[in-house]
Amino acid sequence: MVKNVYFYYLFLLNALMNLVNFVPRILIHDRFRGSVLGVMVAIPIGLVTIALFVRMIQKFPGMGVPEIFAKYMSRWIYKPLLFMLAFVWFYASAVTLVGFVDVTGRYISPDVSPYAILIGFLILVSLSARRGSESLLYALEIVLFIMVPLIIYMTYRGLSSPYFQWDAVRQAMTFMGHAPTLTSIAGATYIFSGYANLVIFNRVFEKVQVRRFWVIAAIGALIVVMAMFAPIGLLGVEGAGYHVYPSFSTVDSLRIRYFIIERMTYVFYVVYLSLSLVNSIIHWHVAKELVLGVFRQHKSSEGGCPKEEKSQSRLAWWVLGIFSALVLGAAYLVDQFSNNTMAVWFLNTRFFAEMLLLLLLGYCVLKRRSAA
């Protein structure tokens, strides 16, 4: 069993990832169409969602969603639901990996084959996703302790830059009165979605306790505001909208005067490569366990499933192999514009999938009460 602090790490990883992922691009794209108000609306929605999910998952200490659904639902209902949830988690990692390969070719290594880069990523993610949930959380803790100070430093350099235009930020704020789009709200709420990994990681928590919601609110609000306004401040209200990856373009405008390398973008790349890979490992681990939950013979007792570990291990290899093949196929078929469209689809679908997950967990809580 792990301590409750690892819940905050799961939240923080997902939130930090979205400083550079497709969320800033979507918010900046809608900057004249209500994304400012969308950010303000998304913060309370994200916090309420976390509070409801944690309150319900607390009722099932040491259990993942596959075990919970198997106990309180018919298998004809919960097995398709587990497949659907696994697809959502896999989709999130696929969009991230394909997008980061594009970033690598665009900013770091334009002469290297994108497939060589992607195969390297897939081998690392596949092998790591097979590790136990506790091991992944310990690795996540180490990565965050190394990367968060660098992110704070880069944020300070950006905000203290003499080229940061506060007038551009104020100009963007004047569009606050415009009604937000669904995509803006769905994109901004994704900052808070790290809690959803508890669908599997709840197995290693004795009982999730979240006592410092103000920390989640403060960090989430700061990150979503930075994701949108830092590129606007350094690239301008109009200029920020012309960049495919506004966060990378923003950091590329910064310099490190007294370091062995001058361009901040190399540090930024290493930081977000690490976070992207860890985030993909977490997502593949969750998606793999959800798929295995479909085929696992769930017992009514608390004991495990004897003599099924070997078959589950072989099945895990197959699942991860299929995930890798699908990502390679997506990288071959999908271009930059299609990947952007897929990201928008994912954010909207994920928003409603989280709402559905809350409803399903609520149903299981009611069934548990009636059975007590």
The residue among 228, 234, 331 whose CA lies nearest residue 22 is 228
**Per-residue pLDDT tens over the stretch 151-198:** 998 888 888 888 888 898 998 888 888 888 888 888 888 888 899 999
Query: Which residue's structure tokens are 């790349």?
Result: 269
Q: Give residue-wise pLDDT tens across range 217-276.
A: 999 889 888 888 888 988 888 888 888 788 888 888 888 776 677 788 888 888 888 998
pLDDT digits (tens, 9 = 90+) for 26-47: 888 888 888 889 888 999 999 9
Question: The pTM is what?
Answer: 0.91
Residue-wise pLDDT tens digits, 89-103: 998 888 888 888 888
Q: How far apart are CA 118 and CA 213, in angstroms?
A: 37
Contact (CB, 8 A) for 202 and 208: yes
Rounded to the nearest 10 degrees, the angle between the axes of helix 22-29 and helix 182-189 is: 150
Residue 304 pLDDT exceeds 80: no
**What distance in Å separates the CA atoms of residue 252 and residue 107, rounded to the nearest whole number?**
9
Residue 350 has a pLDDT of: 86
CB atoms closer than 10 angstroms to residue 51:
14
- Which residues, in sequence order, are CB contacts of 176 under 8 Å at separation 6+? 36, 37, 40
Mapped to the 3 state alphabet, what secondary structure does 80-102 carry? HHHHHHHHHHHHHHHHHHHHHHH
pLDDT at 301: 46
